[in-house]
Amino acid sequence: MLLQAQRLIVAACVLLGLSGCGAINRIPTLDEQVKAAWSQVLNQYQRRADLIPNLVETVKGYARHEQETLTAVIEARAKATQMVIPANILTDPEAFRRFQENQAGLTGALSRLLAVAERYPDLKANQNFLSLQSQLEGTENRISVARRDYIEAVQAYNTELRTIPGRWIAAIFYSDAKVKETFTIPQTSQEAPKVKF
């Protein structure tokens, strides 16, 4: 009888220990999902940066006197692609903000470039330009999807670190686990547009 009770206690402890493995492994699993989602964000931003030189060259042939806009796009691309991304960018609010600002600057410069293209009917009809514009639009959509996936991965990870039992597990097993940064919308984008007639 005593031996049977001991076996039951050992079996209960083993089952309890095994059930805790899922909870213990959840934090590194979510952390890896965040890293994978961030890699996809970077991948899509790089894809956009790679398209820009071709787009600029195509527009340059048609809009020679739009040099200021072309220069702004080239400078914004350089600023976005030359930023050294620190290893801790996902947990460093300042580095993450700088990255986000550089990418937003490039987005704004591209918008101005595409607005310039509207003034040149021959450019708008150019097959190379149309192809590049289509690729850029597709890439912008991919960036949106990658950012959404990253935001969702960060939300799951941060929620796990801030709630029980994840908070306890992190404190015991993953003391280096930190809350990750996520994308924000600039204050100017949150304001309602002012319409005047």
pLDDT truncated to tens, each residue of the chain (197 aa)? Answer: 677 777 767 655 555 554 556 778 899 999 999 999 999 999 999 999 999 999 888 888 787 778 888 889 999 999 999 999 999 999 999 999 999 999 999 999 999 888 888 888 888 788 888 899 999 999 999 999 999 999 999 999 999 999 999 999 999 999 999 999 999 876 665 565 554 54
Phi-psi sector, 170: left (phi>0), alpha (psi -120 to 50), beta: alpha
* CA dihedral sign of residues 83, 88, 90, 92: negative
Distance CA 127, CA 133 (A): 10
Q: Are 47 and 139 in contact (CB under 8 A)?
A: yes
pTM of the model: 0.80
User: Tokens for 109?
Assistant: 């410069």
Helix, strand or coil, per DSSP, at residue 47: helix
In eight-state DSSP terms, residue 163 is: S
Q: What's residue 192's pLDDT?
A: 54
- H helices present in the chain, as ranges: 2-62, 67-82, 93-117, 121-125, 127-162, 166-173, 187-190
The C-alpha atoms of residue 98 and residue 84 are separated, in whole angstroms, by 10
